[in-house]
Structure 1
Amino acid sequence: MDELRFLTALHRPGSLVDAGAHDGLLALPLSRLPGAHVLAFEPLPAAFARLRAACAGSTTVTPIPQALGDAPGRLTLSVPVVEGIRQEQWASLVKTFEGYGQHVEAERTQVPVVTLDSYCLRDLTAMKVDAEGAEYEVLRGARDTLRRCRPVLTLELEERHRRGSTWAVPAFLDALDYATCFALNGRWWPASALNHATMQRASPDPSNYSASDPYIFNFFAWPREREAEVAQSLPEVRLEG
């Protein structure tokens, strides 16, 4: 199950949020869904420049050069540089990338941070969160919006970026009456079924790309009142219970 398939199958017209939009790989196809308008948040200046160029002329994507978090302000965004090559996909507000030896350096940039709740959205239908370890803060800053709008969510949660994230984020969402699952072998599994030793073994070192097989990092969350809709819209993945 990939993010685009999940969000397309459960699409409802309204606002969609892409937190960590990078250069628009997901924001652009989502913006083509009927009645969709995507708010694409990307705080890394180089990536935002590409995102803005990719969305030029679009009336259904709004690129926003900010990070989402749990309080307004400014934070340090760190980008690892491995043997002179910037690893933008690992840009993080919660990691400094120190301690990995001379082959890993880091570029640091101060970026603006806002809460999603400050946008006072009334029609949020879906949200993708890929914040390299800061997913918990993104959702904390969206608590009122989640309660009000009840969107479906896709989340990239990796212990190598933030230890404890694969239980802390689902626990936060459980308190809002959300189910958080991952798809494997044709069925949905609750986040609590994740076996870290066999399903999410990977190094936090950006120069080391080895990982377990399977490597489960895409999680999907929905309000529990929408479980029947999930089962009907995604019949290829069995929903137990």
Structure 2
Amino acid sequence: MTQTLPVVEVASDGVEFGAAWWKTMLCSALPADSGPRGLIYAGAHVGEHVPLFSAGGFTPILAIEPNPVAFAQLRQVAPRFEGVQCVNVAVGDRDGTTPYFAVSDVPTLNSTLEPDRDYWLKVAGPELVDRHPVQRSEVPAARLDTLLAGKAEAYNTLYINTQGSELKVLQGAREILPHIEAIFTEVNFVRRYDGCATFDEVDAYLKAAGFGLIYLWRYQDGRYTHGEAIYSRAAAQAFKEYA
């Protein structure tokens, strides 16, 4: 059984409204007798959501971003809010280093996975693809299990925005997942990146880990190739008892 929650547009400059959105959506995934505690922000970019998460009651916030340029901006945002820690690594299923692919002038497509050229040629065309070349580098990498060793109990919410590597992030979080009650993740319905996990793969993994899907939305960009989902451990138990 899947409950689909209503979709609300979040104004980019509306912190109060945005905080209400995140608190309503994410807290609906938490147990009835619980509330927001710590939030893991994987793929924090320049910290766009830090003000919203903080105003929504999530603390501490672990903001993780691999891109050094974006991370420098994130570090400017973090001190304005209590309990925000920033880490300049890529999260995934291993510790050490990992390739990082930066798309020129389109930072929202940056990923530890290489963009699938055939896919992007099909949807954007060769002229646009050639105008935004992909630059490869190596960046530090870590599993969430490594970053949160001995600290996992402080966090009950996980937010993932890692451009196709969502399943790798989850596979590197096996030890902390039992402490997590709510998960927001971007999902892909087609493989936009090489090695990108699809929604079905992420969904199967999280359901096997004891989470239930309560919200699913495809971005209405004309192609419906990706979107977002929220999972709840409490909902999975409720659905099980109801069945």
- Contact 2:167-2:197 at 8 Å conserved across structures: no
2:205 to 167, 172, 189: 172
1:153 to 166, 177, 183: 183
**C-alpha separation between the residues in 2 aligned to 1:130 and 1:35?**
17
Q: Which moved more, 1:49-58 or 1:218-227?
A: 218-227
Task: Name the amino acid aligned to 1:218.
Answer: E
> 1:164–1:67: structure 2 CA closer, same or farther, 3 Å change rule?
closer
> 1:7–1:157: structure 2 CA closer, same or farther, 3 Å change rule?
same
Q: 1:72 Cα deviation (Å)?
A: 0.2
**Structure 1 partner of 2:132:** 104
1:106-163 C-alpha deviation (Å, 9 max, x unpaired): 122311111111112112211110110100010011111112x132000101124355
**C-alpha separation between the residues in 1 aligned to 2:36 and 2:234?**
20
**Structure 1 partner of 2:107:** 88
Task: Name the amino acid aligned to 2:144.
Answer: L
Q: Equivalent residue of 1:142, what SS? A: coil
Asked whether 1:62 is paired with 2:90, we answer: no
**Structure 1 partner of 2:141:** 113
**Structure 1 partner of 2:173:** 142
Asked whether 1:31 is paired with 2:31, we answer: no
- Contact 1:28-1:61 at 8 Å conserved across structures: no
Q: Mark the runs of 5 or more structure 2 residues left unpaired by the alignment.
A: 1-6, 9-20
In terms of fraction of residues, the more helix-rich structure is 2
In terms of fraction of residues, the more strand-rich structure is 1
**C-alpha separation between the residues in 2 aligned to 1:123 and 1:94?**
30
- Contact 1:182-1:216 at 8 Å conserved across structures: no
> 1:63–1:200: structure 2 CA closer, same or farther, 3 Å change rule?
closer
Q: 1:98 Cα deviation (Å)?
A: 4.5
**C-alpha separation between the residues in 1 aligned to 2:109 and 2:71?**
15
Q: Equivalent residue of 2:175, what SS? A: helix
TM-score (normalised: structure 1): 0.73
- Contact 2:43-2:63 at 8 Å conserved across structures: yes
TM-score (normalised: structure 2): 0.73
Q: 1:37 Cα deviation (Å)?
A: 0.9
- Contact 2:27-2:36 at 8 Å conserved across structures: no
- Contact 1:39-1:61 at 8 Å conserved across structures: yes
Q: Equivalent residue of 1:52, what SS? A: helix
1:208-228 C-alpha deviation (Å, 9 max, x unpaired): x7424xx66111111145665
> 1:164–1:93: structure 2 CA closer, same or farther, 3 Å change rule?
closer
> Over aligned residues, Cα RMSD in angstroms?
2.8
Q: Mark the runs of 5 or more structure 1 residues left unpaired by the alignment.
A: 185-198, 202-208, 231-239
**Structure 1 partner of 2:223:** 211
- Contact 1:180-1:219 at 8 Å conserved across structures: yes
- Contact 2:115-2:192 at 8 Å conserved across structures: no
Asked whether 1:221 is paired with 2:231, we answer: yes
Q: Equivalent residue of 1:30, what SS? A: helix
Task: Name the amino acid aligned to 1:22.
Answer: H
**Structure 2 partner of 1:44:** 67
- Contact 2:37-2:60 at 8 Å conserved across structures: yes
Structure 1 vs Structure 2: percent identity of aligned residues? 22
Aligned pairs for 1:193-212 (under 5 A) are: 210-212=222-224
Aligned pairs for 1:118-137 (under 5 A) are: 118=146, 119-120=148-149, 121-137=152-168
Asked whether 1:7 is paired with 2:18, we answer: no
**Structure 2 partner of 1:196:** none
